[in-house]
Amino acid sequence: MVENIQIFQEYDAILARQRGREMAKQLGFSLVDQTRIAISISELARNILIYAGEGEVEIRMIESSGHKTGLEIRASDKGPGISDLEMALTDGYTSSGGLGMGLPGTKRLMDDFEIRSDVGKGTSITIRKWLSS
C-alpha cells in the first residue's frame, strides 16, 4: 500500500491528508490516530506549498522488524531548505507570519520524526505512526 501525491496547490494538500486518513483507517488506526496522521500530513504539505512551492507526499504501509504495522509519510521538496533545524522545530518560530506550530506539533503527534534539509537543495521529512496492538 503506497500512495504518491504531487503537491502543487491547496487541493493537493487536502487530498493528501484525506488519503492519509483513509489509509490509516484501513490499517485499523483509531479515530484519534487517524486525525493525528491527517493533521501531520496537512502541516507538512502546506509547508511544501508555502516554502518550496511544490513537492510530494508519499504515504506507505510499513512493518517493523518486530512485525508491528505502521504508516510512514515522507514529505519532500526541492525548495530552499532550512538553515537552522533547531530553530524551525521550536514552538512558535515562523519565517512566514504563521503560527510556527507545524513542525513541533507534528513531532508531538507522531511516533517518529526525521528531518533532513540542505540549504539550496530541499527538505525531506519522514514521520511514522505505529499501530499499538
Partner 1 sequence: MQNQVPILQMGDVLIVTIKPDLTDDEAVKLKDDILHEIKKNNIYGLILDISVVDLIDSYMGRILSEMSDMSRLMGASTVITGMSPYVAISMVEFGLNFRSIQTALTVEKGMEWLNISRTMGVSHG
Ligand X SMILES: Nc1ncnc2c1ncn2[C@@H]1O[C@H](COP(=O)(O)OP(=O)(O)O)[C@@H](O)[C@H]1O
Residues that bind Mg ion (CB under 5 A): 47, 102
Where along the sequence are the contacts to ligand X (CB under 6 A)? 43, 47-48, 51-52, 77, 79-82, 88, 93-96, 98-104, 123
Q: Which residue carries 518550496 as its cell?
A: 52
Instruction: Return the axis-axis angle of helices 31-47 and 10-27, rounded to nearest 10°.
Output: 150
Residue by residue, DSSP assigns 33-55 as HHHHHHHHHHHHHHHIIIIIS-E
Q: What's the length of the chain?
A: 133
Binding mask 19-48 for partner 1 (x = CB under 8 A): --x---------xx-xxx-xx--xx--x--
59 vs 109, beta carbon nearer partner 1: 109
Which amino acid is residue 62, in one-letter code?
Answer: I
Binding site for partner 1 (CB under 8 A): 10-11, 14, 17-18, 21, 31-32, 34-36, 38-39, 42-43, 46, 91, 98-99, 101-102, 104-106, 108-109
